[in-house]
Structure 1
Amino acid sequence: MILPGLRQVLDETPSPVLGLCPGIAIDLGSSRTRAWMPGRGVVADVPSVALSPDGPCYPVRRGRVVDVEQCSRMLGLLLGRHVSRRRRRPLVVLSGPVLTEPADHAAALAALEVLEPRSVLTLDSVKAAAVGCPDEPPGGRSLLVVDVGAHLTEVAVLTDGTVVGARRAEVGTADLGRDRPAALIADAVAGMVTQLLRDADAAGTVDALDRGPLLVGGGALRPDIAYRLAMELRTSVRPAPAPHWAALRGAAVALQAARRHPSVNEGEPVVSAVRAQ
């Protein structure tokens, strides 16, 4: 399966390049885990569920890896067969929540050890989503990204591709129901935007808000959420193409770029974790 919109983002088709180390782009979400590999396309798009002796286990909750052992087992079953030990160790690009605490970051890296990565590059999902949208220029004016997931909603302002302000709320589409409409998420987003408007870079937030936020994540597939956000923020809301794939598309772009760096393809493997700015 070709990742939706990937060929519009990359300068080339997702084919393997001779001499480059293997790589995996991963979007590890509370609801679903998605992964993409050069030359293979999407190799995983499944619920983030592991099977334990006591029944189903959900190792990722509210954007955090809460059970490293079960998350590692899940990733091993999903992706282990795609990483042959006879080949070079893979470069992993992981898309994760913005404002991740060091302990949560360490837990995610520990779960990835089952893939025996050469190195791991972590990328904020809001930034990955912006990179993964072909209609969004990489620099220039400020951009407001609203990422509505199943259990987590994030709001961030990007200027010249750098996150200059961000907020997150532990609420998502899985929390909605008959008695909890889309206004629950819209109110949370409006509150986070208000907080960003009080920050030092408020001018960038105003410019981004005037332009209209980029709506990504699974919640962007729901017209009621987009409508309520537009009403609350009093501006146009722009759902991204295939919004639930946006973060993985951006991670794939970062992976293709990182695989071409000389430090990745020369010398002995050095396992390290680098957080993209």
Structure 2
Amino acid sequence: MTALALDLGTARTRLLLSGSTAIKERPSSFGEPGTRRWPVRHGMVADMPSCARLVRAALSDAVTGQHPPLERVLLGVPVAASRLDRRAAYAAVSSAARCRVTIVEEPLAAAVGCGRAGTGRGDGRRPDRAHPRRPAGHRPAAGPADHRRRRP
């Protein structure tokens, strides 16, 4: 299966093709210096048609004629991306790539990239935020925030 990991950044767009160790990188802007467009701002799609154009250009750089056609794109999105932001990114990438697109939160993509995919519960949800020394279900005692004796 030919898959591609895609990170749409404000300044740089990065791609990693399955089976490769080289990350392809290109500027996220295009156009002449006076009419330069930035289709991605803060990691989220700001201009959908321009973003689709950017993705098409990045894919044509990364996927050459010697590669089989893409079957899947893993798209990294910021954790703070809203449902609307995720939908816009999905629409822009799927229209350009014309294959299955899976959205992955960027911290999870980073964990997978460094071999830490087993962090958390293992069911795709965020890892538990429990304190390592407190038993499950522990709640702090009610009372004032500062229990220390105050000096006069």
Q: TM-score, normalised by structure 1?
A: 0.41
Pick aligned residue for 2:15 from 35, 50, 66: 35
* 1:44–1:79 CA contact under 8 A, matched in 2: no
Query: What is the CA-CA distance between 1:23 and the residue it aligns to?
Result: 1.4
C-alpha separation in 2, matches of 1:36 and 1:88? 15
Map of 1:55 onto structure 2: 35
Pair 1:125 & 2:106 matched: yes
Query: What is the CA-CA distance between 1:99 and the residue it aligns to?
Result: 3.6
Amino acid in structure 1 at the alignment position of 2:90: L
Structure having the higher Rg:
2
Deviation readout 1:214-240 (Å, 9 max, x if unpaired) = xxxxxxxxxxxxxxxxxxxxxxxxxxx
Higher strand share: 1
Amino acid in structure 2 at the alignment position of 1:31: A
Pair 1:23 & 2:13 matched: no
Pair 1:163 & 2:129 matched: no
Map of 2:81 onto structure 1: 100
Map of 1:242 onto structure 2: none
Map of 1:69 onto structure 2: 49
Pair 1:80 & 2:63 matched: no
Higher helix share: 1
- Larger RCO: 1 or 2 (CA < 8 Å, sep 6+): 1
Query: What is the CA-CA distance between 1:50 and the residue it aligns to?
Result: 2.3
- Mapping 1:1-277, distance limit 5 Å: 21-42=1-22, 44-51=24-31, 55-80=35-60, 82=63, 87-112=68-93, 113-117=95-99, 119-134=100-115, 136=116, 138-139=118-119, 159-161=120-122, 162-164=125-127, 204=130, 206-207=131-132
Amino acid in structure 1 at the alignment position of 2:36: P
Q: TM-score, normalised by structure 2?
A: 0.69
* 2:8–2:14 CA contact under 8 A, matched in 1: yes
C-alpha separation in 2, matches of 1:121 and 1:27? 12
C-alpha separation in 1, matches of 2:34 and 2:55? 19
Amino acid in structure 2 at the alignment position of 1:102: R
Residue ranges of structure 2 left out of the alignment (5+ in a row): 133-152
SS of the equivalent of 1:100 reads coil
Query: What is the CA-CA distance between 1:88 and the residue it aligns to?
Result: 4.0
CA RMSD of aligned residues (A): 2.8
C-alpha separation in 1, matches of 2:32 and 2:88? 19
Residue ranges of structure 1 left out of the alignment (5+ in a row): 1-20, 140-158, 165-200, 208-277
C-alpha separation in 1, matches of 2:90 and 2:24? 19
C-alpha separation in 2, matches of 1:137 and 1:109? 23
Query: What is the CA-CA distance between 1:125 and the residue it aligns to?
Result: 0.5
Deviation readout 1:81-108 (Å, 9 max, x if unpaired) = 5165x94442111111114212111111
Amino acid in structure 2 at the alignment position of 1:32: R
Query: What is the CA-CA distance between 1:47 and the residue it aligns to?
Result: 2.3
